[in-house]
Amino acid sequence: MSTPVLDQDLSSDLATAALALARRFHTGATLWCIAPAWEPHAQHVAVEFVHPVIVGKKALPAVALTGPDLVATVRMSVRPGDVVLAVAATDQPDVRSVMRRAPAWGATTLWIGSGARPDAGAADHVLWLDDPDPRLPATGGFVLLYHLLWELTHVCFEHPGLLAPEVPECTTEGSLAGPGTGAGVCITCSDEGCLGEVVGPGRVRTATGIEDVATVLVDPVAPGDLVLVHAGTAITRLEEPTPR
């Protein structure tokens, strides 16, 4: 089985993901790596960033997370502004749940995999090999992707002007929801809400932290439920997608 060739779309996705990752690292992010079916990939990615093989490249904070309850482990570890990178197929329920919840934790998401693609919007950045061969994770395909991701991230560091985060435009005065908020829109002129995860009665975790939120419109809710929050009120409860 030969090493896959990167087409133009995947090359563009890689460049975009590397720039986003460099910007997150520049603001103090930690990269949390998960790969429940292929844990060595998560460990390999973390080592790439923590122990650069090229002299003069900075070590970047990255940690491989493992264990039986991966959602709980990531939830406890991640902080607003961090990045969660998954190496997994789309049939991994823990990864699908982590990717879905990450905006409520304020995290940027990056998903590397092969075969059937995730649903549109399942992660902020998707680096995908369309080859359906189940042996692909054991070949150099994934390793090539995250090695290139590491190299391109450091290329971005060589151009400091690239590291300033993009600020979305708004035609009215007000605050803007930034990357990882689950909204990405003007929070004063849009009716869209932001994703939140219930942590207790009247308490919801969003990208900005733990908030007091009225849940009367969506009760009953339980810790771990996902809700859409607008103006201090949970307006919709989001159901977990049906596993593939």
Residue 65 belongs to some domain of the structure: yes
pLDDT at 175: 37
Q: What is the CATH number of the domain that holds 42?
A: 3.40.50.10490
224 and 181 inside one domain: yes
Residue 200 belongs to some domain of the structure: yes
- Is 202's pLDDT higher than 60? yes
Q: State the chain's mean pLDDT as an integer.
A: 88
125 and 190 inside one domain: no
- Is 191's pLDDT higher than 70? no
* 31 dihedral zone (left: phi>0; alpha: psi -120 to 50; beta): beta
Which residue do the tokens 């061969």 mark? Answer: 133
- Is 165's pLDDT higher than 80? no
Say if residue 220 is preceded by a cis peptide, omega within 30 of 0.
yes
pLDDT at 77: 98
Among 162, 189, 218, where does a domain finish? 162
| Average pLDDT value for residue range 51-63 | 88
Number of structural domains in the chain:
2
Residue 1 belongs to some domain of the structure: no
Identify which of 4-8, 61-65, 170-174 has the greatest average pLDDT: 61-65
136 and 197 inside one domain: no
Residue 218 belongs to some domain of the structure: yes
Specify the range with the lowest mean pLDDT, choosing from 99-108, 109-118, 171-180: 171-180
Can you give the residue range of the structural domain that contains 206? 174-239
136 and 228 inside one domain: no
**How does DSSP assign 122-191, residue by residue?**
SSSEEEEE----TTGGGSSHHHHHHHHHHHHHHHHHT-GGG-SPP----SSSS-B--TTSS--SBTTT--
Specify the range with the lowest mean pLDDT, choosing from 2-6, 26-30, 186-190: 186-190
- Is 186's pLDDT higher than 60? no
37 and 152 inside one domain: yes
Residue 115 belongs to some domain of the structure: yes
118 and 224 inside one domain: no
